A and B are shown apart, each in its own frame.
Chain A
Amino acid sequence: KNEVEQSPQNLTAQEGEFITINCSYSVGISALHWLQQHPGGGIVSLFMLSSGKKKHGRLIATINIQEKHSSLHITASHPRDSAVYICAALYNTDKLIFGTGTRLQVFP
């Protein structure tokens, strides 16, 4: 059983919509990563957080340690945001467990 669960698996949106992707994990972790994977396969690290909230441009990531839950929000979505977003839990300070990803498509 995957110890990192993401929802939804697939998400479509119209340009400008507010988007939320959720991640739940079942083990005690050191930190949680949000990653973005483009169709070509390359991965970009968006956020690493262990508590609270981080913001970068139109992207916001939050984590609730007690509830073992994290969310990634995209404000004013744009077609270039279309990608797979992956949640990854870091445990033992150096091992990542990955979720299966959320495939986001934003249409103009």
Chain B
Amino acid sequence: EADIYQTPRYLVIGTGKKITLECSQTMGHDKMYWYQQDPGMELHLIHYSYGVNSTEKGDLSSESTVSRIRTEHFPLTLESARPSHTSQYLCASSEDYDRGYGYTFGSGTRLTVV
């Protein structure tokens, strides 16, 4: 049973549209992450958050933005989608270092921009 939920699971959208990918977790984790994964490639961190009102850019540059208004919710937004944004986006959350820093991943959103 998933404790971290991503919607939509699949999305095909036209160039120039604004989209928001949703991610919610029910575990009360402070730390949340967005990863981008191109087919057959490794995951790359694009955004992370250490708690409410905390957001940071990750190792891979991304034109997306994120917000963290509530602990359980970490949406990712693309203001103007482009074909280069076609990828899989995975959301994750983790416990604190002292509690074992276990990670939980969502099922991902596969985005296609046409």
Residues on A lying within 8 angstroms of B by beta carbon are: 2, 30-31, 33, 35, 40-45, 48, 86, 88, 90, 93-96, 98-101
Contacts and interface: CB of A to CB of B under 8 A. Distances in A.
A96 B110 contact: no
B55 interface: no
Given A40-B107, A93-B97, A99-B42, A45 B102 contact: yes
B97 A2 contact: no
Interface of B: 31, 37, 40-45, 48, 50, 59, 88, 90, 92, 94, 97, 100-108, 110
B104 A45 contact: yes
8 contacts: A35-B105, A40-B107, A42-B108, A45-B102, A88-B43, A95-B45, A95-B59, A100-B42
Contact of B94 (A2, A86, A94): A94
A62 to B, nearest CB: 18
B107 A48 contact: no
A47 to B, nearest CB: 10
A48 B42 contact: no
Contacts of A86: 42-43
A86 B35 CA distance: 14
B103 A45 contact: yes
B101 A93 contact: yes
B101 A42 contact: no
B105 A48 contact: no
Contacts of B42: 2, 86, 98-101
Contact of A42 (B31, B41, B44, B107): B107
A44 B103 CA distance: 9
A31 B94 CA distance: 13
B60 to A, nearest CB: 11
A30 B107 contact: no
Nearest to B50: A94
A86 B103 CA distance: 13
Contacts of B104: 45
A94 B93 CA distance: 10
Kindly list the 5 A-B residue pairs having the minimum CB-CB distance in the complex, ordered from nearest.
Answer: A43-B105, A42-B107, A41-B108, A93-B97, A98-B42
